[in-house]
Chains A and B, each alone.
Chain A
Amino acid sequence: MTTRNRWFVPVLVLTAVMFAYSPIAIANAPYEVTMRLVQKIFYYHFPTWMALTVTVTVCTAASLLFLFRGTPLADRVAVAAAELTVVFGLFGLVSGSLWGRKAWGVWWQWDARLTMAFLLELIFIGYLLVRKFGGPGSDKLAAAMGIFGGATAPFVYKSVDWWRTVHPKTSVVMTLIPSMWYVILFCTATFLLLAALILAARVRLESLRAELDRQYLALED
C-alpha cells in the first residue's frame, strides 16, 4: 500500500471537475415551493451526511477487523475514517445549523437527527483524543470506541426520536421532484468520491509513517 494507487489522480481530477460543476447544477435546479433559495443548502448538507454515514460504517467495520484479526491496514483505515467523520460531521452541523436558522428560525433543536449527529461528533472526537493521548495500546482503545460508537448511534436516534422531533422525516427526500433528485444524486456522488479520495490519501500517509518507523528501527539495530 505504500505505492501510489494508479486510480488516485484520475479520480482526483474527476472529483475536482464535479465539484466545479456542482454550483452550476445547484443554481439550475428548480426552487423548492416553501423554502425557496434557503433550500439550496440541502444539496451540500444531505451529501455530507451520506458521506458521514459511509465513514462511520467504514470506521466501525475496520475497528472490528483490527480488533479480531489485528490487520494493521484495518487500523489505518479506521483512523482515516474517524478523522473524516469528524470533518464531515462538523461541516454537516454547521450547514444544518445555518439552514435551521432560516427554515425553523432557530440555530439548534434537540431532535433525533441533530442529537445523533452531535453525539457522533463527540464520540469520534473522543476516538481521536484517545488515539493521541491514550499512550501504548491506544489503537485498541480507539477500536473499541469505533465499535461502541457505531453501535450506540441507532439507540441515540431512537431515544431522541421518541423524545421529540422537528427535523424533516426521510420521506421528505422521497417527495422531491426528479430534476432536484438528479442534483442531489450528483452532489452525493461528488461527496462520496471526495471521502474515498481523502480516505485513500490518509491511509497511504499512515502506511508511509509505519514504513518510516520500521526502517528507522531497522537502522537503529
Chain B
Amino acid sequence: MRFFRIALLVLKKDFAIELKSYEILSTTLFFAVSCVAIFSFAFVKEGEAAVDAAAGILWIAIAFSGTLALGRTFERERYGETLKALLLAPAPRPAIYLGKLLGIVALLFVTELIVVPMVAFLFQAPFFERPLLLVALLGLGTLGYAAVGTLFAAMLVRARTRDVMLPILLYPITIPVIIAGVRGTSALLASPVDEPVATLWIGLLMFFDVVFVTLSLWTFEPLMTE
C-alpha cells in the first residue's frame, strides 16, 4: 500500500507543478494539433480524406507529442535539480517510476481527448461507432508507449544528447504498439466494423503492456543507480 501511496504522491507533486503553468500540457496539445493540421494538408484533397489515413495520423500525433511530453517532464526535474532529491527520497524507486508513468499517461489521455475528435472531424472518420473498443485501444496503447518512454526519458536525463536519443531509442522499441494501435483503430474505422480484428490487437497490446511495465519496474532501480 505504501508503494502506491508514494506513486500517488509523485503524481500529485507533478500535477501541482503543472497546474501552476500548464507548460507541458499546453505545448504538447499545441504540438499534437499542429501535427494533425499538417497531415490534413497532406492527405485531404478536395474535401476527400485519403483512405485509411486517419488511424495512422492519430497514432503518429500521439507518438510524436508523447516524445515531446516525455522529454519536458524530465527536463523540468533536471532544471530544478530535483531528480537527485527525488531519487534520494526514502521510497522504493519503482514507485517513483510508477508515479511518473501515471503522470505521462494522464497527460497523453488529455491530448487524446482533443486529438481524436479533431482527426474524426478533419478526416471524416467514424471513430465513435464502438467507443469501448476505441478507449481500450487508446488506453492500452498509450500505457505501453509511455511505459517504455518514461523509463528511457528518465535514464537519458543525464545524457548530453538526450533530445536526439529519446526518439532514436524509443521508436524502434515501441513499433509493436504503433502497429497494433494503427491496425486496431483502422479495423474500428472499417465499415462494417471489424470487431474480431480490433479485439485481436487489444490482446497484443495487453500482453505488451504486461511485459514492458514489469520489465521497466524491474530495471528502473539498477538503471537509475549511478
Contact = CB atoms under 8 A, between A and B. Distances in A.
Q: Does A associate with B in a complex?
A: yes
Interface of A: 67-68, 119, 122-123, 126, 129-130, 133-138, 140-141, 143-145, 147-149, 151-152, 155-156, 158-160, 162-163
Chief secondary structure at chain A's binding surface: helix
A135 B159 contact: yes
Given A67-B223, A137-B226, A152 B173 contact: yes
B173 A149 contact: yes
B215 A147 contact: yes
Given A136-B158, A137-B159, A159-B204, A148 B173 contact: yes
Interface string B131-163: 000000000000000001001100110111100
B219 interface: yes
B204 A140 contact: no
Contacts of A151: 211-212, 215
A156 B176 contact: yes
Interface residues of B, number: 33
A119 to B, nearest CB: 6
Given A129-B165, A155-B208, A148 B179 contact: no
A163 B212 CA distance: 22
Given A140-B155, A151-B211, A159 B160 contact: no
A17 to B, nearest CB: 38
Nearest to A152: B173
Contacts of A147: 215, 219
A138 B201 CA distance: 34
Given A122-B172, A134-B160, A147-B215, 10 more contacts: A67-B219, A134-B161, A135-B161, A148-B173, A149-B172, A151-B212, A155-B207, A155-B211, A159-B176, A162-B183
Interface string B153-194: 001101111001100110011111001100100000000000
A144 B219 contact: yes
Closest CB pairs A-B (n = 5): A155-B176, A122-B172, A135-B160, A159-B179, A123-B172
B215 A148 contact: yes
A93 to B, nearest CB: 15
29 contacts: A67-B219, A119-B172, A126-B168, A126-B169, A129-B168, A130-B165, A134-B159, A135-B160, A138-B159, A140-B223, A141-B156, A144-B152, A147-B219, A149-B172, A149-B173, A151-B211, A152-B174, A152-B175, A152-B176, A155-B207, A155-B211, A158-B204, A159-B179, A159-B180, A159-B204, A160-B179, A162-B201, A163-B179, A163-B183
Contacts of A158: 176, 204
Contacts of B174: 152
A20 to B, nearest CB: 37
Nearest to A137: B158
B165 A133 contact: yes
Interface in B80-138: none
Given A119-B175, A140-B155, A141-B156, A68 B222 contact: yes
A144 B159 contact: no
B50 interface: no
A152 B207 CA distance: 11
Contacts of A137: 158-159, 226
A130 B204 CA distance: 29
Interface string B195-206: 000001100100
A143 B165 CA distance: 14
Contacts of B169: 126, 130, 141, 145
A179 B207 CA distance: 41
Contacts of B160: 133-135
Nearest to B157: A137
